[in-house]
């Protein structure tokens, strides 16, 4: 690199090693390169008095090559404080040019040279047809979450990881093989943290609870909450799940009235039912959302999960402006989210006050999540608010998504629907009776459990999740730099023919049932859906960061689906949607049909 242009100033620059740069020119690149790293330059007057301005120059190459440019520019700027006015102007101009050149060089390095020519991951398999600036970003934004990755996993030979480039050619690592998934999710899981921007965006609604906690804080929170999700507690909640399943089924029956067939939008019913379930089983309060669609919480969540063009625009803006600024911009969407967060927090604080008063009066202890969290003593009131926000949102939205896709798939597969209805009516009491069910009743229904598992495979509620490398590490021996984005995509892994066989793209509950008389081998195969690895099934992930409420979610899902299928027959309102490509899917934390799920509902007598 060439030395900087000569300028005059009234002062000296002295390095820590005693070297004094001449007083008739500004130090340029040649001057800086002849000294060791991390030297401190002090700006001195002619008399040698220290003006108190210093900077440390660090010669760090690779992707951090911009630091030495910034250091040189900072020295130049510091010198301007001891110049006459004319020299100050010249130095400021020099600094601006130097900074601009350094910035351009850094941009070229970061966007093109590093990912294309210098990255240690550049030899990994990756999709073709990359845009010169956008990488694969255009396709990723245009298609439903996880769909491009599904194609890459199917078509690109790989050993478990695939590199792709996003906006501005930022590197992403798609983790899709069992060994790679095991490293990221289990053996080295705390090396990969949830991206910070998720806390600042969806964390406003989900709270910064166990879902976003990291390291020792996450371990403490999970340990404190685990008793609430122990099987002995979950099995006691089955009667709650069934009572709420009966309530929503009876409310939908009333909506149908005496008519032969009625068109209903079922995702709204699913959301209200699961919100009530998490309210009673999780917090000890019935929110009444099934009976009142305008319930404050139901209305609030409906507003924030509604597809929004503004949300997409804000997402794009956040690619170029820090999210801390984006979430404060005067967009209506931001105002809606902030107002919703305030409403949800107010409800959570009220729940905590109510529960603490009940516990203080030594009333019969509850088995709900909130009671266990309070009695653990591991949370402040604000921590408890965050935990409740997490379980309220994640605990009802994911199961509601699963119910929505269940109705869609059963509408497309009437034979599966009919067979399931037969098992439900044979094993469970009518939704009009006062008889409760137990966990044993559900456990003895192999086809119901098979259908639930296949729905979670085929339309996993959460299409993808992301992690960032917390420090320099490796995956399958490949070096992964700190900050590298790791992408885990159930919607891709669940369709990988190497894991699920040649019929991976077919909806088939039979894959979860034992076949023939092979005994133990058949049972083991059925337990995994025929997949070659348990890492092939990711609706709840695996390891210490897996979904703490998965047993809760499976139980309520089974109870709701059994009640609905036992009472109703579903058919698509729009026959064209039998073609999956005709169903527009909205993005977000969970996947749902953008226009809702409209189906024809018929009451089937006898249940």
Residues that constitute the known binding site for heme: 547
Chain centroid offset of residue 426 CA: 39
Nearest CA to 588 out of 284, 267, 185, 263 is that of: 267
Residue 420 burial by Cβ neighbours in a 10 Å radius (0-12, 13-18, 19+): buried
Q: Are 211 and 526 in contact (CB under 8 A)?
A: no
Q: Is 556 helix (H, G, I), strand (E, B) or coil?
A: helix
Task: Give helix 381-412 / helix 369-376 axis angle, nearest 10°.
Answer: 150
Nearest to 242 by CA among 433, 394, 396: 433
Query: Which token pair is 183?
Result: 């490293």
Give the integer Cα–Cα distance in Å for 415 and 250: 24
Cα angle: 187, vertex 535, 411; to 5 degrees: 150
Q: By three-state DSSP, how is residue 262 classified?
A: strand
H/E/C letters for each residue in 10-35? Answer: CCEEECCCCCEECCCCCCCHHHHHCC
188 Cβ contact list (under 8 Å, min separation 6): 473
* Cα three-residue angle 582-303-490, rounded to 5 degrees: 50
Give the residue numbers of the binding site: 547
The whole-angstrom separation of Cα 545 and Cα 214 is 9
Contact between 60 and 108 under an 8 Å Cβ cutoff? The reply is no
Q: Does residue 41 sit in helix, strand or coil?
A: strand
Tell me the CA end-to-end span of the chain in Å, nearest whole number: 83
| 542 Cβ contact list (under 8 Å, min separation 6) | 181, 182, 185, 186, 534, 535
Contacts of 451 (CB under 8 A, 6+ apart): 406, 410, 416, 420, 509, 561
């Amino acid at each position: 690199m060439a030395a900087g242009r000569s300028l005059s100033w009234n002062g000296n620059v002295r390095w820590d090693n005693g070297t004094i740069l001449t007083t008739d020119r500004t130090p340029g690149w040649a001057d800086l390169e002849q000294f060791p790293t991390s030297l401190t330059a002090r700006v001195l007057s002619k008399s040698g008095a220290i003006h108190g301005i210093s900077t440390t120059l660090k010669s760090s190459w690779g992707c951090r090559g911009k630091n030495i440019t910034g250091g040189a520019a900072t020295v130049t700027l510091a010198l301007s404080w001891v110049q006459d006015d004319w020299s100050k102007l010249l130095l400021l101009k020099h600094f601006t040019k130097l900074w601009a050149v350094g910035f351009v060089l850094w941009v070229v390095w970061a966007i093109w040279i590093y990912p294309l020519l210098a990255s240690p991951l550049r030899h990994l398999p990756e999709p073709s047809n990359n845009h010169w600036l956008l990488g694969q970003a255009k396709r990723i934004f245009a298609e439903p979450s996880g769909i491009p990755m599904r194609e890459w996993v199917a078509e690109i030979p790989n050993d478990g990881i695939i590199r792709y480039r996003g906006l501005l050619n930022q590197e992403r690592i798609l983790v899709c093989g069992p060994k790679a998934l095991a490293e990221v999710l289990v053996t080295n899981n705390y090396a990969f943290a949830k991206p910070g921007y998720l806390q600042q965006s969806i964390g406003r609604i989900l709270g910064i609870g166990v879902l976003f906690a990291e390291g020792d804080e996450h371990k403490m929170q999970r340990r404190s909450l685990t008793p609430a999700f122990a099987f002995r507690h979950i099995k006691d909640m089955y009667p709650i799940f069934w009572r709420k399943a009966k309530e929503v089924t009876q409310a939908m029956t009333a909506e149908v009235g005496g008519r032969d067939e009625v068109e209903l939008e079922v995702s709204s019913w699913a959301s209200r039912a699961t919100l009530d379930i998490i309210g009673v089983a999780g917090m000890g309060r019935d929110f009444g959302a099934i009976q009142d669609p305008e319930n404050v919480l139901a209305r609030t969540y409906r507003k924030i999960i509604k597809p929004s063009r503004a949300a997409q625009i804000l997402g794009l803006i956040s690619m170029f402006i820090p999210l801390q600024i984006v979430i404060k911009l005067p967009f209506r969407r931001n105002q809606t989210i902030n107002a919703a967060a305030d409403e949800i927090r107010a409800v959570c604080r009220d729940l905590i006050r109510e529960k603490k008063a009940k516990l203080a009066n030594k009333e019969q202890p509850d088995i709900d999540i909130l009671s266990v969290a309070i009695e653990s003593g591991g949370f402040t009131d604000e921590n408890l608010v965050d935990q409740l926000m997490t379980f309220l949102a994640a605990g009802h939205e994911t199961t509601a998504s699963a119910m929505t896709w269940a109705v869609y798939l059963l509408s497309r597969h009437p034979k599966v629907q009919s067979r399931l209805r037969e098992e439900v009516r044979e094993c469970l009491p009518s939704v009009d009776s006062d008889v409760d069910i137990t966990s044993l009743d559900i456990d003895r229904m192999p086809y119901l459990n098979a259908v639930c598992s296949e729905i979670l495979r085929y339309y996993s509620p959460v299409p993808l999740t992301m992690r960032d490398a917390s420090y320099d590490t490796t995956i399958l021996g490949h070096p992964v730099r700190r900050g590298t984005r790791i992408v885990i995509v159930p919607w891709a892994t669940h369709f990988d023919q190497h894991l699920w066989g040649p019929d991976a793209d077919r909806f088939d509950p039979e894959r979860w049932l034992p076949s023939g008389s092979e005994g133990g081998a058949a049972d083991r195969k059925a337990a995994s859906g025929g997949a070659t690895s348990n890492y092939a099934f990711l609706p709840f992930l695996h390891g210490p960061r897996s979904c703490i409420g998965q047993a809760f979610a499976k139980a309520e899902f089974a109870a709701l689906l059994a009640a609905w299928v036992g009472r109703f027959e579903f058919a698509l309102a729009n026959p064209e949607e039998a073609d999956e490509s005709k169903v527009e899917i909205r993005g977000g934390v969970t996947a749902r049909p953008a226009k809702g799920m409209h189906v024809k509902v018929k009451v089937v007598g006898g249940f």
